[in-house]
Amino acid sequence: MRKRLLLIFIVAFGLVATACSGNGKEKTEKSEASSTPIPLDVSIRLPKAIQPNQEVKVEAVVTQGREKVDDADEVKFEIWKKGQANHKMLTGKHEKDGIYSVQTRFAEKGEYYVVSHVTARGIHNMPQKEFWVGQPQ
């Protein structure tokens, strides 16, 4: 009688353990798939031609999937001339439709870089763009 009771207990325990582990695995796969954040896409926009001492608008267009991000925690623009250690850090202002911008001037002709530092929805993205002020040499 004891052997039979022990056998029933082992079989019942095995069935319960198998059923529980199957459900847990399915939940984990679903939660991992749904909790993966969609990355931020940041596109830096500048005028095609920039002249020294000309007021210029630098923009970052921020999207997540097909959604325009209007609630970024922080958008900053780091700008510097090639070969110089001094970098300007300017805070972007939200305009509309995921567009953040700053106004700035470039004193000298030459090759420059801009990095937009964007933090939104727990994600950070910092693309870099190279551009020229005046004619490329």
Whose CA is closest to 131, among 51, 76, 61, 75? 51
Q: Supply the pLDDT for residue 13.
A: 52
30, burial (CB in 10 Å: exposed 0-12, middle 13-18, buried 19+): exposed
pTM metric for this prediction: 0.72
DSSP one-letter code for 99: E
DSSP helix/strand/coil, 11: helix
Q: Supply the pLDDT for residue 26.
A: 38
Please name every residue paired with 99 in a beta bridge, in sequence order, or none if there are none: 61, 96
Q: Supply the pLDDT for residue 23.
A: 46
Low-confidence ranges of the chain (pLDDT < 50): 6, 15-16, 20-32
